[in-house]
Structure 1
Amino acid sequence: MDDGFRALQDWLAQTRDEPLEAMGAFFDARIGDYEAHMSPWRAHYAWMAALLPDGIETLLDVGCGTGLELDEIFARFPALHVTGVDLSGEMLAALRRKHPNRALTLWQADYFAQPFGDSRFDAAVSFETLHHFPAAQKARLFAKIRDSLRPGGVYLQCDYEAKTQQIEDLLFAECARRRARDGIAPDVFVHFDTPLTLEHEMQAMRDAGFARVELVGYLPEDDHTPMIRAVR
Structure 2
Amino acid sequence: MSTIQDQFNRVSKNYDAQRRYLIPCFDDFYQSCLPLVAERAAIKNVLDIGAGTGIFSQTIYQQRPDLHFTLMDISGDMLKVARERFAGLPNFKFIEMDFSANPIAEKYDLIISALAIHHLEDEHKAVLYNRVYQALKPGGLFINADQVEGRSAGFDEFYKSNWKETVNRSELAPEAIERAFERIKLDKFARLETQLKMLETAGFNDTDCIYKYHNFVVMAAFKA
Where does residue 44 of structure 2 map in the other structure?
57
- Secondary structure (helix, strand or coil) at the match of 2:12 reads coil
Where does residue 195 of structure 1 map in the other structure?
189
Deviation at 1:113, TM superposition (A): 2.5
Q: Is this contact kept in 2: 1:168–1:196, CA < 8 A?
A: no
Normalized per residue, the structure richer in helix is 2
Q: What is the Cα-based RMSD across aligned positions, in Å?
A: 2.4
1:134 equivalent among 118, 121, 129: 121
Query: What are the equivalent positions in structure 2 for 1:52-131 lying under 5 Å apart?
Result: 52=37, 53-55=39-41, 56-100=43-87, 101-117=89-105, 120-131=107-118
The answer as to 2:221 corresponding to 1:230 is: yes
Q: Distance in 2 between matches of 1:156 and 1:194?
A: 19
Q: Distance in 2 between matches of 1:111 and 1:67?
A: 15
Q: Is this contact kept in 2: 1:135–1:200, CA < 8 A?
A: no
TM-score normalised by length of structure 2: 0.77
Matched residue type, 1:33? N
Whose Rg is larger?
Answer: 1
Q: Distance in 1 between matches of 2:91 and 2:31?
A: 20
Matched residue type, 2:92? L
Q: Distance in 2 between matches of 1:69 and 1:160?
A: 15
The answer as to 2:39 corresponding to 1:22 is: no
Mean alpha-carbon deviation: is it higher for 161-170 or for 204-213? 161-170
Matched residue type, 2:15? Y
Q: Distance in 1 between matches of 2:66 and 2:185?
A: 34
Where does residue 143 of structure 1 map in the other structure?
130
The answer as to 2:20 corresponding to 1:33 is: no
Deviation at 1:167, TM superposition (A): 7.8
Q: Is this contact kept in 1: 2:110–2:141, CA < 8 A?
A: yes
Per-residue CA distance 1:44-64 (angstroms, 9 max, x = gap): 222233432432110111100
Where does residue 212 of structure 1 map in the other structure?
206
Q: Distance in 1 between matches of 2:30 and 2:90?
A: 18
Q: Distance in 2 between matches of 1:204 and 1:167?
A: 24
Q: How many residues align?
A: 190
Structure 1 gap ranges (5+): 1-19, 171-189
Aligned-residue identity in percent: 24
Structure 2 gap ranges (5+): 158-183
The answer as to 2:27 corresponding to 1:46 is: no
Deviation at 1:217, TM superposition (A): 2.9
Q: Is this contact kept in 2: 1:26–1:191, CA < 8 A?
A: no
Per-residue CA distance 1:98-154 (angstroms, 9 max, x = gap): 112141121111102333235x11111111111122222111101111111111101
Deviation at 1:83, TM superposition (A): 1.2
